[in-house]
């Protein structure tokens, strides 16, 4: 059985105070705890193998699960655009979905787009995400998948993890809708 874990990166978003990403990381950790993921990884954390441990293959994937495929692509666009802009030498905070959808790509961004790999990204509605993850597991034979999701809206990130947990049939996914509503009202 493949294990599924979450990766917290504490992204900084445009228009939000720097400390907000730390507060969101704490909320995310509390929130993800009840969804059935195996563990929560924090960026820059590395597991140290001990003598006698059996090999444990871990695959890290960027995952955005929307209500449907189109919604997921919109949620993922600010993240993707941010990576492209970084490769084009124009780094900055993550844009909102609305800003990313209205953004006019520069020549430098279009040239840099091919430098951003998306072949391992999992972006789609719940069924698409489940299918793509199953394909990645089949190809890689990974024992564990570490999932990272960066969306402009913290509530959208939590909702993406709820949709993913439900799509994968993780044990606590049934409690997800109520927790997602509480997180949205707190955001």
**pLDDT tens-digit series, residues 15-59:** 888 678 888 988 999 988 889 998 898 875 344 455 667 788 989
4 near 38, Cβ under 8 Å? Answer: yes
All structural domains of the chain with their residue ranges: 6-47+54-67+119-186
Specify the pLDDT at position 174.
46
DSSP code per residue over 5-72: EEEE----BTTS-HHHHHHHHHHHHHHHTTTT-S-EEETT------TTPPP--EEEEEEEE-SSHHHH
The alpha carbons of the chain give a radius of gyration, in whole angstroms, of: 17
**pLDDT band at residue 131 using 50, 70 and 90 as cut-offs:** very high
Specify the pLDDT at position 49.
53
Specify the pLDDT at position 172.
60
């Amino acid at each position: 059985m493949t294990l599924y874990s979450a990766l917290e990166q504490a992204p900084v978003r445009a228009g939000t105070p720097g400390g907000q990403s730390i507060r969101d990381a704490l909320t995310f950790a509390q929130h993800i705890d009840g969804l059935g993921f195996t563990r929560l990884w924090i960026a820059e954390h590395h597991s140290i193998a001990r003598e006698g441990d059996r090999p444990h293959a871990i695959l890290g994937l960027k995952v955005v699960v929307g209500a449907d495929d189109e919604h997921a692509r919109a949620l993922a666009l600010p993240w993707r655009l941010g990576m492209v802009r970084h490769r084009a030498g124009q780094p900055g905070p993550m844009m909102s979905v609305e800003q990313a959808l209205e953004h006019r790509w520069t020549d430098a961004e279009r040239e840099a787009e091919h430098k951003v790999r998306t072949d391992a990204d999992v972006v789609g509605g719940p069924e698409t995400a489940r299918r793509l993850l199953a394909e990645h597991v089949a190809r890689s034979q990974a024992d564990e998948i570490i999932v990272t999701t960066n969306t402009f809206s913290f509530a959208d990130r939590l909702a993406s993890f709820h949709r993913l947990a439900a799509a994968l049939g993780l044990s606590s996914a049934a409690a997800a809708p109520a927790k997602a509503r509480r997180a949205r009202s707190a955001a």
